[in-house]
Amino acid sequence: MSGIKAAHKLAAAGFDVQVLEGRDRLGGRTWSNNAMGTPLDMGASWIHGIEGNPIHQLATDLSVPLVEWDYDNQVTYDHQGNIDYDIDGKMQSVETDLFSWATVALLNDQDATVQDAINIGVQNGDLDHMNPMEVEFMTNVLVEQDTAADASDVSIAGVLELGEFGGPDVIFPQGYDALVKAMAADLDVKLNTWVKAIRYDQTMVTVETSQGDFEADYVIVTVPLGVLKKGVIDFTPALPQNKLAAIAALDMGVLNKVYLHFGEVFWDNSVTNMANISEQKGHWSYWINLEPATGKPILGAFNVASFGKEIEDLTDEQIIAKAMETLKTMYGNDIPQPADHLITRWGKDEFTYGSYSYIPKGASASMRNDLAEPVDGKVLFAGEATHSEHPSTVHGAFLSGEREADRVISLAGR
């Protein structure tokens, strides 16, 4: 999204723009897969907050259908498969306490993690009304599902500095990547062109790729943070130390999706969100019912952080077997096996090495600005990880692409 937005704006301003895409498709982490006969978003799924959100405006301008997502329409099951009618009330009673725990944790250690804050709540008795499994469920729901990282790794300071848009969240019943395809319609895009090296000086940039070299006056690097961390692109001269430090310190979370297509609906089809208080934190803890949005009996499971990474080493069959164990606990042993499935492994994806960025212990929010800083007025950087107010989101990526397009326009004196 960041690269397409930057290219789209620069082309509209009269620049000669070349887009280099390593994959055999557009979109990057904005990817709608049609293999099940309906577009399923394997990466980004929601517009988070539609009020003033540029992605919502873009979707509206393009007349792309949207469906509001109701997070309150949820049923939560305990680890034995019984509906837990009390957990929502228990969690709501302590959500505001999180800020006071975080304040105490930061007073003790400016590098404190979210888990440090929750530990304070446990120690001072604020969570005595919840058992350990419920506390871990709360941690996963309130923190880890959003950051895609373990609470013990997520910096409190990094979370507190995030911005957000108001209003409801919405999804794309016809696929999120409709936005990318629309913006790329008139652009010169070379697919299957992965970048090996970027050489630059004060006059020219040369980009070495699997399809030959490309020369330009400016280059905007929009690869995910995970790719920069792997060092697969050789920069000559080497990037400045503050940028290298930011790349090393910031990190990528992992959120993996499992979509299961069944022959029939066996769950309560009036419910769109199903949660599971698992015995082990975050194991198959969040499910969505996509039948109302797609018209097909499809369930999706989101696994994040350590468990999200763990299942990447399993085969599809092993992953499906584990998913079915949880569904049988929730809905009984006589439910059917899925007829089809789709599974992501974003942590192993060589074009991302993760799902989206977060600020871990030992890093600071200011490092996102270091990541965004241009080098020699020739090599510019965009992507969700470079946006200090709206990281980890499609709108953050979009805004960062717009930012760098404006920077090129300014540098070129247009």
Residue 237 lies in a domain: yes
pLDDT at 339: 97
Distance, in Å, from the CA atom of 230 to the CA atom of 7, rounded to the nearest integer, reads 25
Using alpha carbons, select from 156, 71, 153, 164 the residue that is nearest to residue 393.
164
Query: Distances from the Cα of 24 to the Cαs of 27, 273, 337, 351, in angstroms?
Result: 10, 33, 32, 11
Same domain membership, residue 226 and residue 105: no
Instruction: State yes or no: pLDDT of 161 exceeds 90.
Output: no
The percentage of the chain sitting over the pLDDT mark of 90, rounded to a whole number, equals 96
Q: What number is the average pLDDT over the span 308-331?
A: 98
Same domain membership, residue 228 and residue 176: yes
Same domain membership, residue 406 and residue 376: yes
Same domain membership, residue 143 and residue 12: no
Q: What number is the average pLDDT over the span 56-75?
A: 95
Q: What number is the average pLDDT over the span 114-123?
A: 97
Distance, in Å, from the CA atom of 313 to the CA atom of 390, rounded to the nearest integer, reads 31
pLDDT at 7: 98
Residue 219 lies in a domain: yes
Instruction: State yes or no: pLDDT of 135 exceeds 90.
Output: yes
Same domain membership, residue 199 and residue 151: no
The percentage of the chain sitting over the pLDDT mark of 70, rounded to a whole number, equals 100
What is the span of the domain harbouring residue 20? 2-69+169-252+354-411
Residue type at 365 in one-letter notation: A
Using alpha carbons, select from 136, 137, 143 the residue that is nearest to residue 119.
136
Residue 63 lies in a domain: yes
| Pairing of the two strands 251-253 and 356-358 | antiparallel
Q: How confident is the model at residue 158 (pLDDT cuts 50, 70, 90)?
A: confident
Q: How confident is the model at residue 70 (pLDDT cuts 50, 70, 90)?
A: very high
Instruction: State yes or no: pLDDT of 178 exceeds 80.
Output: yes
The angle that helices 97-108 and 114-123 make with each other, rounded to 10 degrees, is: 110
The whole-model pTM stands at 0.96
pLDDT at 96: 86
Q: What number is the average pLDDT over the span 147-153?
A: 97
Residue 390 lies in a domain: yes
pLDDT at 220: 98
Same domain membership, residue 246 and residue 124: no
Report pLDDT digits (tens) over 22-52: 999 999 999 999 999 999 999 999 999 999 9
Instruction: State yes or no: pLDDT of 163 exceeds 90.
Output: no
Same domain membership, residue 176 and residue 153: no
User: What does the DSSP assignment read for 302-347?
Assistant: EEEHHHHHHGGGS-HHHHHHHHHHHHHHHH-TTPPPPSEEEE--GG
Same domain membership, residue 190 and residue 136: no
Question: What CATH number is attached to the domain comprising 223?
Answer: 3.50.50.60
Same domain membership, residue 181 and residue 247: yes
Of 109, 132, 157, the one marking the end of a domain is 157
Residue 335 lies in a domain: no
Residue 315 lies in a domain: no
Report pLDDT digits (tens) over 374-409: 999 999 999 999 999 999 999 999 999 999 999 999
Token pair of 322, please? 């584990």
Segment (H or E) for 300: strand 298-304
Residue 316 lies in a domain: no
Q: How confident is the model at residue 20 (pLDDT cuts 50, 70, 90)?
A: very high
Same domain membership, residue 8 and residue 57: yes
Q: What number is the average pLDDT over the span 313-328?
A: 98
Sign of CA dihedral 140, 142, 145, 148: negative
Give the mean pLDDT of the chain: 96
Report pLDDT digits (tens) over 192-224: 999 999 999 999 999 999 999 999 999 999 999
Of 157, 192, 208, the one marking the end of a domain is 157
Same domain membership, residue 64 and residue 97: no
Q: What number is the average pLDDT over the span 294-298?
A: 96
pLDDT at 95: 83
Q: Indicate the number of domains in the chain.
A: 2
Q: Tell the burial category of 336 from Cβ atoms under 10 Å away from its Cβ (0-12, 13-18, 19+).
A: exposed
Instruction: State yes or no: pLDDT of 58 exceeds 90.
Output: yes
Residue 162 lies in a domain: no
pLDDT at 166: 95
Same domain membership, residue 180 and residue 137: no
